[in-house]
Amino acid sequence: MKNVHNIDSKLVTFEILNDIILTDKKLKLSKESITNINNCRTYLDEKIKQDSAPIYGINTGFGSLCDVKISNSNLNKLQENLVMSHACGTGEKVPKNIIKLMLFLKIQSLSYGYSGVQLKTVERLIEFYNNDILPVIYTQGSLGASGDLAPLAHLALPLIGKGEVYYNNQTITGETLLKEFNWQKIELKSKEGLALLNGTQFMTAYGTHLILKSLKLSYLADLIGALSLDAFDGRIEPFNELIHFIRPHNGQLKTAQQVKSFLTDSELINQPKAHVQDPYSFRCIPQVHGASKDALNYCKKIFLTEINSVTDNPNIFVDADKIISGGNFHGQPLALAFDFLSIAMAELGSISERRIFQLVSGLRNLPPFLVKNSGLNSGFMIPQYTAASIVSQNKQYATPSSIDSIVSSNGQEDHVSMGANGATKAKKIVDNLETILAIELLNASQALYFRLPLKTSPFLESFLQAYRSEIPFIENDIVLSIEIEKTVSFLKNTIIDIEELMN
């Protein structure tokens, strides 16, 4: 079936994830995954029967209670207690699209057959995903080590008839959900609660969402920057490939090539210039945007690895006849990547705001604040204030989370990544960047009216035509927050081919 994605051991790429999201594919376990899950569970059941030795999280307590042995008769209760006791999320609710990614990533991780879960547990999670049953999860509570314990506990609660879910545009209880579908609650067996709660799926879902969105915004930053360059009567020479061949950072080369391509056959870029140089915010677009591209590419590699990883603990290796307690749940690689991503995206917003400032400054035969009859009209004075405010907020959000750690679980968990905090801050930065770029587009479009009859390139003119059909030239003062919001919506709805973003 075309609209079904088979969960198997093949590499899950961002292109595949993007396709699953956009086409709303349903999930199905492959025969390979079913075999892996069943073999692992059978192995674990036999191991418990034959060996009474303590195995962390299977017949012991958790965290600093790891030395407390639990009798076999209480193993199921141990797992259910774990899920309930760890559901301590607070703060804002996680967006639904990220919850759905969390479900997918947890299913994918459990399907490899190293976690010891029952097949019916994974199948119930797939039912959640395919029916848009999304557990209510909160943004605060994870230290980004021992996995995203609190968020994943909320993800798991509906399996046992607890917690809340979003279903059919309503919020209902886990108990109501079971009745609605005539389901029995999942009786968690040994290790299952830990398999569900250990893992980095909260961080990885945020990371996946942010990588896809940041790739799009990086592309749009180049496109909107090219519009601003033409609106400012800028020069094309700083984008000449000869400059970039002698400092060949990949992102720098790509940005210069892309902006130059965007401006092919522009009447404005090719007209004679009275000025010798442009300000850095225009002249150094390849260097600044390019550095953010290189940072984003690094983060993409980190999250691609994590998407295809097993991150719960302990891990069960059937062929090697070993159960090993380690630390794959530790979010340090992701925490560092979130901080890098945050800084890189904040910088795209910072240089964008500088271009906004230049456009409203009354330079190069543009009217002050990009409006006729300025004085009576304030024009585009205050959108630059708004952009500056957001840029300043992004600088504060970009303070690294990964440099912090707080001891937990009576010292057993004595170094944590704080990657979950990094994830939620990074989302705020990326969402803020979208607003800053919207303000730049609003300004660039307005400025380009004052360059008529000269036009920008055919490619950029087609983009402008679509934009101006929704946000036309502004003659006199109006409520600009509405135009900014309409521009943000326009950017959200702009579809860019995933292959274009990945190159």
Question: What secondary structure does DSSP assign to 295-324, as a single string?
Answer: HHHHHHHHHHHHHT----SSEEETTTTEEE
Q: Which 8-state DSSP code applies to residue 495?
A: -
What does the buried/exposed string (b/e) look like for 418-437 if buried means 16 or more CB atoms within 10 Å of the residue's CB? bbbbbbbbbbebbbbbbbbb
Q: Which residues contact 328 (CB under 8 A, 6 or more apart)?
A: 309, 310, 311, 312, 313, 315
Per the document, the length of the chain is: 503
State how far Cα 190 lies from the chain centre.
33
138 phi/psi in degrees, rounded to 5: -110, 155
Q: Which residues, listed in sequence order, are joined to residue 60 by a DSSP beta bridge?
A: 69
Q: Are 453 and 461 in contact (CB under 8 A)?
A: no
Query: What SS3 class is residue 390?
Result: helix
Q: Which residues, including other chains, have CB under 8 Å from residue 49's CB and lie 6 or more apart?
A: none
CA–CA separation, 139 vs 156, rounded Å? Answer: 15
Backbone φ and ψ of 92, nearest 5°: -70, 160
Question: How far is residue 237's CA from residue 244's CA, in Å, rounded to a whole number?
Answer: 11
Q: Look at residue 416 and give its three-state secondary structure.
A: coil
Active site residue 43: no
d(CA 135, CA 251): 39
Q: Which of 56, 112, 129, 467 is catalytic?
A: 56
**Which residues are designated catalytic?**
56
